Amino acid sequence: MNNKEVKDELLSLHNDITSLISDLREINIRVNDLWNNIEIRYSRGSVEVPSQTRYDKNYTVAWDKDVYTCTCPSYKYHSGDCKHIKAVKEGDY
């Protein structure tokens, strides 16, 4: 190998490495997107909780990270967690 060939070989290797780094960056961005998507999916949810006073009635407790809401009158008219939210937080549902 003469000097010119060594130089060309090094340049070619350099280009390959630059291209690989670019691919890795793209993969990293896609992994981060998927990770965020999974986090959002699992940090939000809802569950039906039966009314303790009416057999035929269910209330929906929903959460987004640590913010809980309920569809019952108690949650609507009083501040703080109703008994359904408390039950969900305690792992009863």
Decide whether 22 or 70 has the Cβ nearer to Zn ion: 70
The candidate with the shortest Cα–Cα distance to 86, out of 64, 59, 61, is: 61
Q: Among residues 70, 77, 78, 93, which is the contact residue for Zn ion, using CB under 5 A? A: 70
Name 52's Cβ contacts closer than 8 Å, sequence gap at least 6: 83
Shortest Å distance, C-beta 65 to Zn ion: 19
User: Does the protein bind Zn ion through residue 84 (CB under 5 A)?
Assistant: yes
User: Does the protein bind Zn ion through residue 88 (CB under 5 A)?
Assistant: no
Shortest Å distance, C-beta 92 to Zn ion: 13
Gap between the Cα atoms of 37 and 28, Å rounded: 14
CB atoms within 10 A of CB 59: 21
Residue 93 near residue 61 (C-beta atoms within 8 A): yes
Shortest Å distance, C-beta 69 to Zn ion: 9
The residues that touch Zn ion, with contacts defined as CB under 5 A, are 59, 70, 72, 75, 82, 84
